[in-house]
Amino acid sequence: FDDFSRDLCVQSLLEIMDMFCDRLSCHGKAEECISLCRALLSALTWLLRCATFYAEKVKDPLEQAAAENQLKMCLERLEKVLSSTKNRALIHIAKLEETSSWSTVEQSLVKLGENLNNLGSSPLRSQADDCVSLIKSIPTMLSVHSEQLNKTGFPTVHAVVLLEGTMNLTGETQPLVEQLMMVKRMQRIPSPLFVLEIWKACFVGLIECPEGTEELKWTAFTFLKMPQVLVKLKKYPQGDKDFTEDVNCAFEFLLKLTPLLDKADQRCNCNCMSLLLQECSKQGLLSEANMNNLIDKRAADKENSPSLKSAENANIQPNPGLILRAEPTVTNILKTMDADHSKSPEGLLGVLGHMLSGKSLDLLLAAAAATGKLKSFARKFVKPESPKVFISPPSAKSGPVRALLFDISFLMLCHVAQTYGSEVILSDSNPPGEVPFFETWMLTCMPEEGKILNPDHPCFRPDSTKVESLVALLNNSSEMKLVQMKWHEVCLSISAAILEILNAWENGVLSTESIQKITENIKGKVCSMAVCAVAWLVAHVRMLGLDEREKSLQMIRQLATPLYGENTLQFYNER
């Protein structure tokens, strides 16, 4: 369209441009992408001709106001198209494809330049100059790109770190180190900015993560895992400077990002920077002098912001400190589990009971996950036969202790699988025919995201005599006898027992009161029985029609509410 004297037509065309300027994308076949580049180049040529026409008309005093208005609209569209680096890159491709069209653009630029003097020193003039210089920069885009070292944000590093912290706390550090080094080399990131970007991502993670377990995972990732990753990065050749200097330089930059650090301190209720610096110094990533210097600078910054000091809550123990203390505890517990407890199993029970209090377990698991010890930690509980406690002959005294050791191990493993995924627990090296009970149960009976359970699986149909005696026990005794029980057998038989009980209830053989007593027996002493029962019920309910579900759902509700009685075993609330 070249009849530029028809103002309204030109306005409509410019408005049509608005509809797609922000929505250009290159998803498609190569020919489509190339034709998009050519179309952009044509649009650019048209806009330049349009702008030249109105810049010339500005000379005419009668037409001046209308021409300026049209020129303004035209330059706005030009600026919008050219402000995107991606659009300029597409035009660059078109220029390489069609050199003749580019020479048209160059001629239009000359004409527009001649007419710009009509504009004097108005804002339109500077807007037009900006557009002209952007167009002139297009041919040199590639050579300029390689010199982009003055850039300071590197979103790829940020993304790699955030993804790892969110999805893969338990992963090995080496693959992460290699990924980060690859990004560093490909994007030619200077070492100090590279380390800075890693810490920025960690702090963003700390601030943004949801409360609860996720928060503990991020804290462990930042304060335990990332320093280990930097220790490995230190071994790679990083250029002429010493890596510890780069780390120091990165922290100097980080100190300037006061709002980020303040927000993290507020979220974690402590001086995060100071704890991180101490951890890095411990790992040999910072000299002591540099560490103290940085700690003092951060302390001075905090002095100047009184709102932060009042925000720190003295009653809440900060997670970073707790996580750093949990890490050596993990090692101690691993040693404790290896000792021989057959003489006094109560000692081991004390350790496990203590682990369950408050958020200790989540802290220990996060610390173990971040330092690569979670698998060996979990494996200690998968084979509860290995602590020799379980082998000792059952007696009235050891019965409750054995029940509790089994129960706590089982519940902890369920929690690990739900928090960190079942692959943390599974072993590749079980001797044939010797898969531990918990692995069998978890693979076939434990509900997980995306796993369909079969309630009629053979693992839910064990030896019928065991099932009958369990049903009798649940139905008749006023409470469970703990001495003679083999708990893993009970857990595998409970699903079939529940099916018998449900059928009896459906057919009116058992009353609702009897069911109440049975569910109390199931959940009253050893909580893992209730977990196994509900895991099976959930799979069973999905196979029933809507009108057949009532009794199963009622049973799930009863099993899911804890008992509040005197007559429960130790650590009942924690369990």
Q: What is the mean pLDDT of residues 46-62?
A: 90
For 403-427, b/e burial (b = at least 16 CB within 10 A) is bbbbbbbbbbbbebbebbebebbbe
The alpha carbon dihedral of 274, 277, 282, 288 has a sign of negative
Residue 326 within a domain: no
- Do 480 and 525 form a contact (C-beta atoms < 8 A)? yes
Here the CATH number for the domain that contains residue 44 is 1.20.58
* Position 429 confidence tier, pLDDT thresholds 50, 70, 90: confident
Share of the chain above pLDDT 90, in %: 49
Is the pLDDT confidence value at 337 over 50?
yes
The reply to whether 181 and 290 lie within a common domain is yes
Final residue of a structural domain among 414, 445, 476: 445
Residue 324 within a domain: no
What does the pLDDT read at residue 33?
87
Q: Is 79 exposed, middle or buried (0-12, 13-18, 19+ CB in 10 A)?
A: middle
User: Domain tally for the chain?
Assistant: 4
The reply to whether 244 and 379 lie within a common domain is no
Residue 312 within a domain: no
What does the pLDDT read at residue 392?
45
Residue 281 within a domain: yes
The reply to whether 125 and 240 lie within a common domain is no
Residue 451 within a domain: no
User: DSSP secondary structure string, 507-519?
Assistant: TTSS-HHHHHHHH
Q: Alpha carbon of 447 to those of 10, 133, 538: distances in Å? A: 63, 62, 8
Residue 340 within a domain: yes
Closest C-alpha to 107, from 30, 148, 49:
49
What does the pLDDT read at residue 486?
83
* Position 477 confidence tier, pLDDT thresholds 50, 70, 90: low
Domain that holds residue 72: 7-140
What does the pLDDT read at residue 178?
95
Say whether 236 sits in a helix, a strand or coil: coil
The reply to whether 365 and 462 lie within a common domain is no
Is the pLDDT confidence value at 390 over 70?
no
The reply to whether 136 and 194 lie within a common domain is no
What does the pLDDT read at residue 236?
86
The half-sphere exposure of 112 on its side-chain side, counting CA atoms within 13 A, is: 30
Q: What is the mean pLDDT of residues 417-427?
A: 88
What does the pLDDT read at residue 502?
93
Q: What rounded mean pLDDT belongs to the chain?
A: 86
Cβ-based neighbour number of residue 308 at 10 Å: 18
* Position 487 confidence tier, pLDDT thresholds 50, 70, 90: confident
The reply to whether 203 and 276 lie within a common domain is yes
Residue 199 within a domain: yes
The reply to whether 15 and 120 lie within a common domain is yes
What does the pLDDT read at residue 19?
86
Q: What is the mean pLDDT of residues 34-48?
A: 93
Of 343-347, 440-444, 548-552, where does the model show the most confidence?
A: 548-552
Residue 2 within a domain: no
Q: Alpha carbon of 380 to those of 287, 344, 422: distances in Å? A: 38, 18, 15
What does the pLDDT read at residue 58?
86
What does the pLDDT read at residue 484?
66
* Position 437 confidence tier, pLDDT thresholds 50, 70, 90: confident
The reply to whether 525 and 553 lie within a common domain is yes
Q: What is the mean pLDDT of residues 511-535?
A: 90
Give the containing element (helix H, strand E) for 337.
helix 319-338
φ, ψ of residue 133 in degrees (nearest 5): -70, -30
Final residue of a structural domain among 410, 445, 480: 445
Final residue of a structural domain among 140, 168, 195: 140
For 433-443, b/e burial (b = at least 16 CB within 10 A) is eeebbbbebbe
Q: What is the mean pLDDT of residues 160-182?
A: 94
The reply to whether 123 and 169 lie within a common domain is no
Task: Identify which has the larger pLDDT, 399 or 387.
Answer: 399
The reply to whether 297 and 376 lie within a common domain is no
The reply to whether 214 and 294 lie within a common domain is yes
The reply to whether 37 and 174 lie within a common domain is no
Q: How many Å apart are CA 469 and CA 461, to the nearest integer?
A: 14
